[in-house]
Amino acid sequence: MSKRKKRTIRYEVADDIQTRFTDIVRTLNLRHIDLEKVVCVRSFGSSTKRIIARCHGMSKVLQIAMKIEAFYALEFISERFDKLSDKEQEETIIHELMHIPKNFGGGFRHHGHVSAENVKLMHERYQNAKKDKI
């Protein structure tokens, strides 16, 4: 039996992504997103080959048990995310924030809503809103 070497994943708060996330949320006027309760994190050392980012929510039962409100962590896998163009990174951030439901309850919106088409539309809306700000 061969021994597999255990891979260690390291996480750090991603202030640069957080700044971009905040700009997207504010520019698109997404009032249901509580900016104080979403943290963008960059991970290093993941063995995933296809995943660029993940949205982590906290279930209602954990919120009740821990006596805390809903909270989300958006994880961006450095080995994949950092190689993307600025536009692709923006689309990835938008994709992950679209997983957060309007009730901001700790749950998760699935890929029926978070489709490539809807992400592209939201990105276009973001780009147009940024132009209007100038």
What sign does the CA torsion over 62, 63, 65, 66 have? positive
Per-residue pLDDT for 65 more than 90?
yes
pLDDT of residue 132: 79
Question: Tell me, what CATH number does 59's domain have?
Answer: 3.30.2010
In angstroms, the Cα distances linking 84 to 39, 56, 76, 80 are 20, 21, 11, 7
Q: Is position 55 within any domain?
A: yes
Nearest CA to 94 out of 62, 63, 66, 122 is that of 122
Residue 92's domain comprises 10-133
Pull the structure tokens for residue 16. 């640069």
Confidence of residue 108 (pLDDT cuts 50, 70, 90): confident
Confidence of residue 116 (pLDDT cuts 50, 70, 90): very high
- At 21-42, the pLDDT tens digits run 999 999 999 999 999 999 999 9
Mean pLDDT of the region 4-17: 88
Nearest CA to 82 out of 74, 92, 73 is that of 92
Pull the structure tokens for residue 64. 């009740």
Q: Is position 21 within any domain?
A: yes
Query: Number of folded domains in the chain?
Result: 1
Per-residue pLDDT for 133 more than 90?
no
- At 71-105, the pLDDT tens digits run 999 999 999 999 999 999 999 999 999 999 999 98
Mean pLDDT of the region 45-67: 92
Pull the structure tokens for residue 91. 């689309």
Mean pLDDT of the chain: 92
Q: Is position 19 within any domain?
A: yes
Q: Indicate the range of 12-16, 21-25, 57-61 predicted with least confidence.
A: 57-61
Q: Is position 5 within any domain?
A: no
The alpha helices in 1-134, defined as continuous H runs, are: 15-27, 60-66, 78-81, 86-98, 116-133
pLDDT of residue 113: 84
Q: Is position 4 within any domain?
A: no
